[in-house]
Amino acid sequence: MSRPPVNPAGPSFPDDPRRAPDAAGSRGSVPPAAVVVALVAGAEATALLAAAAWYAFQLFSGSPVLSFWGAVFTLGLLLAFSAWLYAVAVFLHRGYRWTRAAALVAQLFVLTIGVPALTSGLVLAGLAMVVPALLAIVLLFSSKVINFASRTGSTPTL
C-alpha cells in the first residue's frame, strides 16, 4: 500500500495522530484512555523496578540462594521487563502501533500472577494487580486508543 504524497507545508510528522487534524479540523491530543493505559504500564514498571531493588538488596546482603548466578539472572529479567514496560508506556503515549500488543501481553502476565494471589488469600495484593490490568485491557480495545495508537514510525529525515 503506497502513501499519498506529503505536503511540504504540512506537519513535519504526517503519521503522528496527535499532529494530524481530526474530523473537526483541530489538532488532536492524547486520548484519556491512552493516558490511563500508559500510566498503568508505567506504574507496573515502577513496581517491577522496586521489586528488583528489593531482590538485589536481599541477594547482595547475604540471603541464602541455591544458585547465585540464577538469582542474578532473575534480577536481570526483572530489570529488563521493567525497562520494557517503561518503553511501552512512553511509546504508547506517543501513539505507536506496536505498544497495544506489548501492553496487552504485559497485562496478561500481570493477570497470571494477580488471579492466583487473589484466590490464595492475598486479597489486597491480588486486587492491586487484577483491577489495573483489567482496566488497561478494556481500554486497550476502546476505539479511541485503537485510532490513536496507529503510528508506525517517523518520517525519515533528509
Q: Please choose, from the candidates 84, 57, 82, 85, the residue with its C-alpha nearest in 3D space to the C-alpha of residue 71.
A: 57
Q: Show pLDDT as tens, one digit a residue, over the chain (158 residues).
A: 566 666 555 554 545 444 444 444 334 588 999 999 999 999 999 999 999 999 999 888 888 878 888 889 999 999 999 999 999 999 999 989 899 999 999 999 999 999 999 999 899 999 999 999 999 999 999 989 998 888 776 655 55
Q: 147 vs 31, 32, 37, 120, CA distance in Å? A: 10, 13, 14, 39
67's grid cell: 544458585
Grid-cell match 494477580, residue found: 114
Find cell 511509546 and name the residue: 91
Work out the number of other CB atoms within 10 angstroms of the CB of residue 64: 4
Name the amino acid, one letter, at 7.
N
- Grid cell 496487552 in the structure block, residue: 104
